[in-house]
Amino acid sequence: MVYKIAFTTKWADFDPNKHMRHTSYNDYAAECRIRFFNDYGLTTALFETQNIGPVLFKEETSFYREIKLGESIKIDLRLKACSENAERFKMLHHIYKDDGVLAAEVQVYAAWLDLKKRKLITPPAIFKEVFNQLDRTEDFEEILLKSKIQKPIY
């Protein structure tokens, strides 16, 4: 399943040139991810009870077309890479203008953090189940982890 969501842009998203600020693209991508998690049971309440939170290592945005004041956007979300138990993951967001033209791509590389110990962790099994619901990109890759150190092999 490709997760899709639409947003109506707001005045605060735009700069004096009347096109969307570069940081707004990342904000909408983050909102899309959080809504995906929430819609599939990885709610903020679950994060709180498990003392877990997502942590980003890298966020990369590529811009293709300008989004102007008053336009709406659509975002789709796919899994680009994932470790066996969803400890580490990469997600790809495509941001489209209302007319279907690709405006930007946002890629994130992230993991799960134990909020008390401030260490990276393997999340509960439900996280892997939720990630398995999401379509994978054509170039999907498995992220291999060193057994105890839990650092990605690159």
Domain chopping of the chain, boundaries? 3-143
51 three-class SS: coil
Measured from the Cβ of residue 143, the count of other Cβ atoms closer than 10 Å reads 19
Residue 147 has pLDDT above 80, yes or no: no
β-pair partners for 145: 152
Q: Residue 146 — pLDDT band, cuts 50, 70, 90?
A: confident
Q: Which fold has domain 3-143?
A: Thiol Ester Dehydrase; Chain A (3.10.129)
Sign of the CA dihedral running 60, 76, 3, 24: positive
Structure token pair of residue 28: 């909408």
pLDDT digits (tens, 9 = 90+) for 68-109: 988 999 999 999 999 999 999 999 999 999 999 999 999 999
Could you tell me the pTM of the whole model? 0.91
30: pLDDT strictly greater than 70: yes
Report the C-alpha gap between 132 and 85 in whole angstroms.
10
Look up tokens 């509960």; give the residue.
124
- pLDDT for residue 59 is more than 90: yes
Locate 147 and state its tokens.
Answer: 């057994």
